[in-house]
Structures are given as C-alpha cells and as structure tokens.
Amino acid sequence: MKTNIHPDYHQVVFRDSSTGDEFLTRSTATSALTVDHADGHTYPLIVADVTSASHPFWTGNARVVDSQGQVQKFHQRYGRRVR
C-alpha cells in the first residue's frame, strides 16, 4: 500500500440527535466537538440525524402508507392505461 494517502481511521462517538443514544465506533469522520465516553476517554463527537435507535425500520414504528389512495390519485390525474 502507498504511504500517506489513507485518511486517519480512529475511534469516534456517534450521537442520535433525536434520541440521544450514543455508540462508539471507528470512522474517518472528524469533528471539533468532543465527548467524555463511559470508558473514561475523550473522543470526537459526530451528531447524526438518524441512527438505528430512531429509524422506523429498526424501531418497529414504521408508518403505514395508504398506497391505494396514492394509486387512485395517480390514475385520476394521469388516466389509466389500457393494454
């Protein structure tokens, strides 16, 4: 491998902005914010909008989408193709 071309791969803490859950992982992302983790070390903090702690697919709180109504609106607006 070539030297000095790879980004720094280090430990960071990701925080979910809506739930406040934090998890420690490795990443090349950097941040000026830091946080003291439970293990006693200070790590860069990356605030994420959505993580598995708040995403509807992973939490089981998925919305039920009325797709039948959307299909009917589409057919009313653009007509129905007959084959």
Per-residue pLDDT tens for 19-71?
889 999 999 999 999 999 999 999 999 999 888 888 777 666 666 566 667 77
Phi-psi region of 30 (alpha: psi -120 to 50; beta: other; left: phi over 0): beta
Does the pLDDT at position 83 exceed 90?
no
Q: Specify if 75 maps to a domain.
A: no
Domain residues for the domain of 8 are 1-61
Instruction: Return the higher-pLDDT residue of 82 and 23.
Output: 23
pLDDT for 41: 95
* Domain count of the fold of the chain: 1
The side-by-side arrangement of strands in the sheet containing 22-27 is 22-27, 10-16, 42-48, 34-36
Q: Specify if 22 maps to a domain.
A: yes
Q: Specify if 80 maps to a domain.
A: no
Q: Specify if 6 maps to a domain.
A: yes
Which of 42, 58, 61, 39 is closest to 50 using CA atoms? 58
pLDDT for 2: 85
